[in-house]
Amino acid sequence: MSTNQTKKSQDAEQAVKDLKALEEQDNAKALTPEEERRKRKRVKRRANPRAAFHMSKASVGLNSEDLGSMTDRDAVNWVAVARWGSKTEMPCPHCGTFDKHYFTRADLRWKCKCCSKRFSVTSDTVLSGHKLPLTKILRIVFDWSNGASGMPALQLRRNWNHTYSTVLSLVHKMREGLVRGNNIGAIAGVNEMDGMDVIGRRGYAKRGNPKDKAKPTEIPPELQKPKVDENGKELPPKHEKNTRQNPERRLMLVMCQRGVSAGTGSSATRVTIAVREEGRTVTAFARKHASAESIMMTDEDNSYGAFSELFAAHNTVNHSQEYSNGKGVSNNQAESFNARMRRSVEGIYLNPSHKYLMEYACENAWRQDVRKLNTGKRLEHLFGKVLSVGTSQWWSNYTHGENRECELLIEGNRPVATRGKPKGYQHRLPR
């Protein structure tokens, strides 16, 4: 009798469970397609092994200890491999002869087999005539290159006990190498483009600066958005932020090449700084860095209007409705770079001057491109690029007051205030 009862109650329990399971199934079916898509995506993202790269052993190649135990000769060999790809064969910086030149151990320099002139591993580069030992330079630059969004020169100055101007000019020489050696050339494939305000709007708005409260009528005409397009057709009124545009604002334009396989992010990044987001500047930037067979992805801003004629295809995503149309049309990689730049400006540079905005943008573009290289490869990549642009045009003799006197803009460089030469400074006569 009792066993029968138990069986009955078990059956009843089972029936309730089945009913619940059925109900749950029904509920699951009731999900809207949008909810289902989100659910699926989340699962996929968790399973993505690439996110684990930064936690893995593979992300660390060279480390501070390795650099600490490097001798002067090791450092010369390491930089030679980064610059020329070999520590025995290289082109002579004086005559260009490619050979196995004579190496002198005493001064760690080579003697050319053709012209008999001597050269070191930093001859004819931004680091030529360096006063810090090469091992020290490697260690400071390693520190600087490892930060996800950069490292302030003031922090490096504290870490390494050098003067601020020593450290500042060193990292700026690296940035110069990236501006002239990394942010060059055209990219092809699927290129995403976007623009972002890098200075002015946010900072001024936060501090209640009167400049931000400028009335539309007070905005200089060259900074106002055009009201008609090229054909004289009236354009819809733009967002409020554009009618209240701060004259101090600069626009960073970015183009990201989409990685070949899905989920890998962008594979190459190009940047520039502009004063206005308008057809002329945007087109000039795109023609400089995107090849004609590219497929361009942008948002629906009017300034991208000419793209459909210039490139193989031009797809736009309507940001007031969606971030991606689900068929591969989005500019999320470019937006992602904007976020990186914003973190960097708000967390590291804090109040970047117009003069060096291009440098900071190029530095971030490089950090974006090498994010999946290990620490050693990253440093090697940096030195390979930086040592390929010849001597420094903007930072040699910085402590003697010689420094670039313009900001770099796609519209053409503009003069800016410079610190100038110290009082009573006299040029040293050449030796």
90 binds Zn ion (CB under 5 A): no
Asked if 301 contacts 289 with a C-beta cutoff of 8 angstroms, the reply is no
**Interface pick for Zn ion out of 28, 51, 58, 95 (rule CB under 5 A):** 95
Name residues contacting Zn ion, limited to 113-142 (CB under 5 A): 114-115
Burial readout 114-149 (b: 16 or more C-beta within 10 A, e: otherwise): eeeebbbbbbebbbbeeebebbbbbbbbbbbbbeeb
Residue placing its CB nearer to Zn ion in the complex, 60 or 95: 95
In whole angstroms, the minimum distance from the beta carbon of 383 to Zn ion comes to 22
In whole angstroms, the minimum distance from the beta carbon of 301 to Zn ion comes to 52
With CA atoms as reference, report the closest residue to 384 among 141, 114, 153.
Answer: 141
Q: Which stretch binds Zn ion (CB under 5 A): 77-85, 89-97, 223-231, 245-253?
A: 89-97
Residue placing its CB nearer to Zn ion in the complex, 114 or 235: 114
CB contact set of 255 (below 8 Å; sequence gap of 6+)? 187, 191, 192, 193, 269, 270, 271, 285, 286, 289, 290, 334
Q: Which stretch binds Zn ion (CB under 5 A): 70-78, 87-95, 245-253, 334-342?
A: 87-95
In whole angstroms, the minimum distance from the beta carbon of 166 to Zn ion comes to 31
Total residues in contact with Zn ion, by rule CB under 5 A: 7
Cα separation, 261 vs 229, in Å, equals 38
92 binds Zn ion (CB under 5 A): yes
Which tokens is 212 given? 């931000």
Residue placing its CB nearer to Zn ion in the complex, 76 or 92: 92
In whole angstroms, the minimum distance from the beta carbon of 265 to Zn ion comes to 43
CB contact set of 8 (below 8 Å; sequence gap of 6+)? none
Q: Which stretch binds Zn ion (CB under 5 A): 14-22, 104-112, 166-174, 233-241?
A: 104-112
Residue placing its CB nearer to Zn ion in the complex, 90 or 361: 90
Q: Where are the alpha helices (DSSP H) in 290-374?
A: 307-310, 332-344, 357-369
In whole angstroms, the minimum distance from the beta carbon of 115 to Zn ion comes to 3
Which tokens is 31 given? 């999900």
Residue placing its CB nearer to Zn ion in the complex, 89 or 322: 89
- Amino acid letter, 121: V
In whole angstroms, the minimum distance from the beta carbon of 96 to Zn ion comes to 7
In whole angstroms, the minimum distance from the beta carbon of 358 to Zn ion comes to 34
Residue placing its CB nearer to Zn ion in the complex, 99 or 278: 99
Residue placing its CB nearer to Zn ion in the complex, 102 or 164: 102
Cα separation, 144 vs 134, in Å, equals 15
Residue placing its CB nearer to Zn ion in the complex, 94 or 238: 94
How long a stretch of residues is the chain? 431
H/E element holding 37?
Answer: helix 33-47
With CA atoms as reference, report the closest residue to 80 among 113, 141, 122, 115.
Answer: 122
112 binds Zn ion (CB under 5 A): yes
Q: Which residues contribute to the site for Zn ion (CB under 5 A)?
A: 92, 94-95, 97, 112, 114-115
